[in-house]
Amino acid sequence: MYEIAFLNLVLIFFKLNSNLTKTQGAVFFVKSSSNLFSIYQINWVNVLL
C-alpha cells in the first residue's frame, strides 16, 4: 500500500514540476526511494498530504 502511494506521489511531483529534466527526475527518484522510502516513508507521505 505504501509502495503504491509513494509511486503515485512521485508521479504527481513530476507532473507539478514539469521543468525537471529526466536526469533530475531520475536522481530525485533514486534518492527518495533509497532514503525517504526506507526510513521516512510514512512521514514523507504525511508531509506531502
| Best CA proximity match to 38, nearest among 8, 2, 1, 13 | 2
Cell of 16: 507539478
- What is the rounded CA–CA span in Å between residue 24 and residue 41? 20
Cell of 28: 530525485
Residue 1 has, within 13 A of its CA and on its CB side, a CA count of 1
What is the sign of the dihedral through the CA atoms of 35, 5, 49 and 23? positive
Has this prediction a pTM greater than 0.85?
A: no
Confidence band, pLDDT 50/70/90 cuts, at residue 30: confident
Least confident of 1-5, 8-12, 27-31, 39-43: 39-43
Least confident of 3-7, 30-34, 43-47: 43-47
Residue-wise pLDDT for 9-19, tens only, equals 777 776 766 66
